[in-house]
């Protein structure tokens, strides 16, 4: 009984081998008994793949893989016979049939210099941000320092406030240094009532920014930025009421003779009629 079992197993194995190699009914007599991608091995009377054809990777060369739809051996990914079998940024190492990096190209940052990085689209090493070999590697507002291989901002341009003067800030949209609020480079950076003095906007002659810039009897009008006299104080008679005159020594508005503001301004026995500011 065991002999029959062993014989049956052998028959099954042989049938499976023949099926995998395309022999439709076991042994073949001619290649016409095989599939289109096979021929008949007359020594063994079995169908085997034609040269360059396959049913599995084992039927191909070490650098090939089997395209089972076409039953054809094709160059495996990363393997080659000539440069054309590789990517445009690779060449073929014909000794071991592998695609390797072409000179000047990269696959990762490790293939580049310290100041470079690998562009994974072009597979070329390019200067990292801020580094350069020429002006074209920098931004439009920068120039390349070829001694240090770094991009430096053009005078007056900036990437941050540290690239500007102490009275300036960096406009990162335009990459230009502009005066901080209240500071200036020219008069037009200031308000109309100001001028630029040592990069600071200060009040022009006849104008003020605070009362400390005015005379003691004046204050700074915050709307007009001019010094105006305080109430009951004056620079001329025009600053006083009709019944007053300007006492220039103290810049005070005082009643004209016969006029008054209080009874104290009138003679003995008189009083001040405050409606018309006359002594009665």
Contact 50, 35 (CB under 8 A): no
Please tell me the predicted confidence (pLDDT) of residue 191.
Answer: 93
Residue 6 lies in a domain: no
Residue 199 lies in a domain: no
Tokens 């190209």, residue located: 105
DSSP states of 85-96 = GS-TTEEEETTT
Structural domain count, the chain: 3
Clarify whether residues 58 and 110 are in a common domain. Answer: no
Residue 220 lies in a domain: yes
Q: Which segments in the chain show pLDDT lower than 70? A: 1-26
Clarify whether residues 277 and 235 are in a common domain. Answer: yes
Of the candidates 123, 124, 150, the residue with the CA atom closest to the CA atom of residue 139: 150
- Enter the tokens of residue 54: 């396959």
* Dihedral in degrees, nearest 10, Cα atoms 259, 264, 267, 271: 70
Enumerate the β-bridge partners of residue 183: 200
Of the candidates 190, 199, 160, the residue with the CA atom closest to the CA atom of residue 176: 160
pTM beyond 0.75: no
List, for residues 98-146, the tens digit of each pLDDT value.
Answer: 999 998 899 999 999 999 999 999 999 999 999 999 999 999 999 999 9
Residue 118 domain boundaries: 83-127
């Amino acid at each position: 009984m065991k002999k029959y079992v062993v014989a049956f197993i052998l028959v099954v194995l042989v049938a499976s081998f023949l099926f995998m190699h395309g022999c439709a009914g076991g042994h073949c007599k001619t290649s016409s008994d095989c599939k289109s991608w096979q021929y008949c091995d007359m020594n063994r009377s079995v169908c085997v793949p034609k040269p360059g054809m396959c049913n599995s990777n084992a039927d191909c060369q070490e650098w090939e893989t089997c395209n089972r739809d076409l039953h054809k051996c094709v160059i495996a990914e990363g393997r080659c016979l000539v440069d054309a079998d590789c990517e445009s940024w690779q060449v073929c190492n014909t000794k071991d049939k592998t695609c390797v990096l072409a000179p000047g190209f990269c696959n990762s940052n490790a293939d580049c210099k310290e100041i470079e990085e690998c562009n994974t689209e072009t597979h070329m090493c390019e200067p990292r941000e801020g580094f350069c070999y020429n002006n074209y590697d920098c931004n439009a507002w920068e120039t390349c320092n070829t001694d240090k291989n770094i991009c430096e901002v053009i005078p007056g341009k900036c990437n941050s406030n540290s690239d500007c003067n102490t009275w300036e800030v960096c406009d990162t949209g335009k990459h230009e240094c502009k005066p901080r609020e209240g500071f200036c480079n020219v008069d037009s950076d200031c308000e109309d009532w100001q001028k630029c003095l040592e990069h600071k906007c200060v009040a022009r002659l006849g104008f003020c920014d605070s009362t400390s810039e005015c005379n003691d009897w004046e204050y700074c009008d915050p709307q007009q930025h001019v010094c105006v006299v305080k109430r009951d104080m004056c620079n001329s008679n025009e600053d006083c009421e009709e019944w007053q005159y300007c006492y220039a020594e103290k810049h005070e508005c005082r009643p004209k003779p016969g006029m008054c503001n209080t009874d104290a301004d009138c003679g003995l026995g008189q009083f001040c009629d405050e409606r018309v500011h006359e002594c009665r």
